[in-house]
Amino acid sequence: MQCCQVQSSSFNPSDAKELLARLILELSAPDVIAAKTQWHDPITYERELAVRRTIDESPVIWDMIGYCCTYKPCFVTISLLVRCHLATVSTSWGKALDGPARGLPKEMEASERVMSFLIKADLLPKPLTYIAELFPHIACYEVKLLLDIVYRYIMNSLRKGLTRDSLDQDDMKAVQSVIQQNISAVSEISHKFLCVE
């Protein structure tokens, strides 16, 4: 790991965030750096899980990732870590399938955390910015469905240079279907999903 000396007269907060992002990536997934892996490159689930476990062992790294997500160039640097987190959480929900999502508090916390990263990075259009509010009220398979929509959206956004496009119509219909299936539980927040970018 290389040390960088920064002159106080030339200190730039953006440079500090970039340095922190690279450090987080090197600590969490050094082999990913060596392979120059990008968000859309194939990675095994076992590798994604190993990255998440490494970060889980040092929870302060999650806080640092959240901090880096506020600056888009840094998000690009650490986006693979966010992708690993999102993919492992989605897989966990897929294995659970039946039952209310609130029955899995650890995965609920992890899902809300990854959504907060993406919201801080200002990458999600409405109504995706609100879907974490649905999680406590819906079934496990529905959380997986919504996280898979987010995953596809972010992948497309990164391929286009972090553009924020409108949500695909089919995906929007899927979000609306989840709301309709659970309207009695989510009626108080359903109005948020009428606003579409």
How sure is the predictor about 5, in pLDDT bands with cuts at 50, 70 and 90? Answer: very low
Residue 38 is predicted with a pLDDT of 64
Q: With pLDDT > 70 as the criterion, what percentage of the chain qualifies?
A: 86
pTM of the model: 0.85
What pLDDT does 1 receive? 42
Between CA 40 and CA 156 the distance in angstroms is 9
Residue 39 above 80 pLDDT?
Answer: no
pLDDT for the residue numbered 79:
86
Instruction: Label each residue of 11-65 as H, E or C.
Output: CCHHHHHHHHHHHHHHHHCHHHHHHCCCCCCCCCHHHHHHHHHHHHCCCHHHHHH
